[in-house]
Amino acid sequence: MPARLCVTAALCAAVVLPPAAAAPRAATVKVAFLQGEQVVYVDRPGSNVAAAVRGLLAGPTGTEKAQGIKSQLPAATPLRGISVRGGVATIDVGIKFASGSRAESLTARVAQLVLTATRVPNVRSVRLLVKGGTPLGLFPGILASFPLTAKSVTAPPRMAPPAPAAQQPKPPSAVTRAIQQRLADLGFMRADEVDGRPGPRTTSAVVAFQKWSGLGRDGVVGPATRTALDSAARPTPTRPGAGHRVEVLLDRQLTLVIDGARVTRILDVSSGKPGYDTPAGSWKVFRKEARSWSVPYRVWLPWASYFVGGVAFHEYPDVPPAPASHGCVRVPRWDAHWLYTQTPVGTLVTVIGRSR
């Protein structure tokens, strides 16, 4: 069955289209899985909450997994019982549901269960039981001794994302300015960022250059990086194409912003870690959120441009040299807004596994 995806509970009604024709169609329920930083819904056969929860516990299909769709529910978690009374679905799952100690996984699996059940008509909330008992304190930030509504697991906090810590600028130097200018000439920095002051922007640009050049990703301009910088040419697109577009190079952990045959910028990014791989393929930006909230992982994602399911470019405070995200493409703070302006809805995003 082809996956019919939509992102976040609130938007699903708008994103999942009804069947094109009026032909009879088997009843389906929506099951909440995860892709990137968001919840996505896929169809499963059935018409009631039991079918939906069984579909959730069964996990994504192989095809869905290939698209980066995941579940945080432990495999083979049994359903011990389910009933609905007065709009409250009492769902009793096996003890595996509460296994593990990673807070993000524990809270995400409760969100999946609640969002799956409450997508079924006439189910407003979920009373969660694990092996017949009430889980107390096992799911961080979730009070499972009370019925859980979709809102209780999706609502963002009424506070803005934390502001990044202010850093004292370091004094400028001619050496740093020369390196920055070279990086800007090659497309690894913006011209307006050349100020001669060392700092995380410059380090990130050096790392991006090292990634492109196949050098060690330490952000330090040592002899090898210096030599490579002196002889380097501006990167070129790794795939043929026309117009304004973006390439994400998973093997090099870089994003290229391209106009025609010219790469205008090369950005240091971090994509999905093993097991959360950013799905390769050609996608288009379909939704933009200046301040996005990750429902399953409960974290702010500023300057988010979604291009497949719950996978987006977004700002993140930590962009290590290696893949580290839940499937999204993390962009450093100083580049995130710029990339956001460069990726309007409809922008082609090609995610490439092997770019060399």
Partner 1 sequence: MRAVAAAAVAIAALALPASAATPPTRTPGVLMVALQMPSAGFQVGIVRGRTVLLARGLEVDLATQVAKLLGLRARFQNEPSFSRLVKLGPNDWDAAVAQISVTPDRARKVDFSTPYFQADQGVLVRVGVKPVPRSIAALRKLVLCAQRGTTGGAIVTNRIKPTRKPLFPVDVSVLLYDLFAKRCEAIVFDASTLAVLRREAPDRYGPLVGRIPTRERYAIAFEKGSPLRARVDAALQAISRDGTLARLRHRWLGADTAKLPVLR
Residues that bind partner 1 (CB under 8 A): 95, 98, 101, 103, 107, 130-138, 140-143, 145-146, 156-159, 298-299
Closer by beta carbon to partner 1, 164 or else 172: 164
Closer by beta carbon to partner 1, 41 or else 300: 300
Distance in angstroms (rounded) separating the CA atoms of residues 49 and 30: 10
Closer by beta carbon to partner 1, 133 or else 169: 133
For residue 31, give the H/E element and its range.
strand 28-35
Distance in angstroms (rounded) separating the CA atoms of residues 84 and 90: 6
Minimum CB separation of residue 144 from partner 1 in Å reads 9
At a CB cut-off of 8 Å and minimum separation 6, what does 77 contact? Answer: 57, 93, 94, 96, 97
Minimum CB separation of residue 28 from partner 1 in Å reads 33
Minimum CB separation of residue 298 from partner 1 in Å reads 5
Residue type at 125? S
Q: Minimal CA–CA distance to 248: which of 260, 256, 258?
A: 256
For residue 264, give the H/E element and its range.
strand 262-268
For 5, 6, 46, 95, 111, the CA distances from 14, given in Å and listed in that order, are: 11, 8, 22, 36, 21
For residue 56, give the H/E element and its range.
helix 49-58
Closer by beta carbon to partner 1, 125 or else 225: 125
Closer by beta carbon to partner 1, 18 or else 137: 137
Closer by beta carbon to partner 1, 78 or else 222: 78
Closer by beta carbon to partner 1, 23 or else 160: 160
At a CB cut-off of 8 Å and minimum separation 6, what does 355 contact? Answer: 238, 247, 249, 250, 251, 252
Q: Which long-range contacts (CB under 8 A, 24 or more apart) does 314-321 make?
A: 314/37, 316/270, 317/164, 318/270, 319/204, 319/268, 319/269, 319/270, 320/270, 321/207, 321/211, 321/217, 321/253, 321/268, 321/270
CB atoms within 10 A of CB 255: 25
Distance in angstroms (rounded) separating the CA atoms of residues 302 and 337: 8
Minimum CB separation of residue 130 from partner 1 in Å reads 5
For 30, 32, 216, 311, 345, the CA distances from 12, given in Å and listed in that order, are: 10, 11, 43, 16, 18
Quote the tokens at residue 173.
Answer: 């130097």
Closer by beta carbon to partner 1, 157 or else 223: 157
Minimum CB separation of residue 170 from partner 1 in Å reads 29
Minimum CB separation of residue 299 from partner 1 in Å reads 8
Closer by beta carbon to partner 1, 107 or else 305: 107
Residue type at 336? A
Q: Minimal CA–CA distance to 185: which of 117, 235, 249?
A: 235
